[in-house]
Amino acid sequence: MADLFVQYDADQPEGERLAPEVRDEVYRLAPVNVANGGITEDKLGSASVTATKIADGAVGPTKIAANAVGNGQLAGAAVTTPKLAPNAVTPDKTGTGVVTAYDENGDPINLKIVFLSATDYAGITPDPDTLYGTWS
């Protein structure tokens, strides 16, 4: 005949309130792994998943909603040149004071601007992609 009562000691810390043989039996019967999708939003307590419980790198690009990352989520200097897509920074986005050079067809071109003395200019072979400013 099986025992009808299980010893429970509320004065013990969590995880030790049941007799050791009962804890062992529960461990053997409890599922070791949870199936994918087994833990749903309804089964999670309020605030049970916190930032400290999410591993670094656990939330990848496929889990971030479109437009979910804004200015407030970016650290200073977080966006560096290698992270910019080609042609991502356009004249319309750079604002006043950023010079854009255009060719005769109105297409943007690369152009360097160099200031040097007339004497120094006389001693160089001019670069066709450079605009020189000289003084005497």
Give the model confidence (pLDDT) of 114-133 as tens digits.
999 999 999 999 999 999 99
The boundaries of the domain holding residue 106 are 92-136
Alpha helices in 1-136 (DSSP H): 20-29, 91-94, 118-122
Q: Is the dihedral of CA 36, 42, 43, 46 positive or negative?
A: positive
The CA distance from 21 to 28, in Å, is: 11
pLDDT at 96: 79
Q: How confident is the model at residue 3 (pLDDT cuts 50, 70, 90)?
A: low
Residue 108 belongs to some domain of the structure: yes
Residues 6+ apart with CB under 8 A from 133: 113, 114, 115, 116
2 pLDDT above the threshold of 70: no
Mean pLDDT of all residues in 56-74: 88
Residue 104 belongs to some domain of the structure: yes
Query: Into how many domains does the chain fold?
Result: 1
Residue 98 belongs to some domain of the structure: yes
Mean pLDDT of all residues in 77-87: 92
| DSSP3 helix / strand / coil % (the chain, rounded to 5) | 25, 15, 60
Evaluate if pTM is beyond 0.85. Answer: no
